[in-house]
Structure 1
């Protein structure tokens, strides 16, 4: 099991070249904010993320991988929406 500050540090380091902040609320749930460090554009904002299943490196890596996939999918969907409107 990871200490909460180690868990957040690991999550925050998993999104380069984007920036990420990971904070813990009073209930022990995480808020993960992934954003562009230059423009400040938020690419992903999750609140209420439980740490119950984040008990080992594999679980944390899987979470980061899933979130990176979501970010990429969101960018493709947005870009696709723009090209549909331009036609």
Structure 2
């Protein structure tokens, strides 16, 4: 598995200009938080991510792509109600 420091660095680069923090929970799962750095507004908070599948740059890039899609879908959903 890639270290949490390296994973955090890769994840952060994939969400620019947003910020991303990754942390390890007591059960070994990951918590991923993507947020707007100036306001601190959370765009995505994901708990319980299994780190076992994140053993390559490709796997991490695929996760980043999926999460970016989720963030965009959420923004469109909120825009429809505004």
1:70 and 1:23 mapped to 2: Cα distance?
Answer: 20
Match of 2:26 in 1: 26
Q: 2:57 maps to which residue?
A: 57
CA distance in structure 1 between the aligned counterparts of 2:45 and 2:23, rounded to whole angstroms: 12
What is the aligned partner in structure 2 of residue 76 from structure 1? 76
Equivalent-residue separation in structure 1 for 2:65 and 2:24 (angstroms): 21
Helix, strand or coil for the counterpart of 1:52? helix
Unaligned runs of 5+ in 2: none
Structure ID, larger Rg: 1
Report 1 or 2 for greater relative contact order, CA contacts < 8 Å, sequence distance ≥ 6: 2
Which runs of no fewer than 5 residues in structure 1 stay unpaired?
83-87
Structure 1 stretches of 4+ moved >2 Å: none
> TM-score, normalised to structure 1's length?
0.87
RMSD: 1.1
Q: Structure 2 CA distance, aligned partners of 1:43 and 1:11?
A: 14
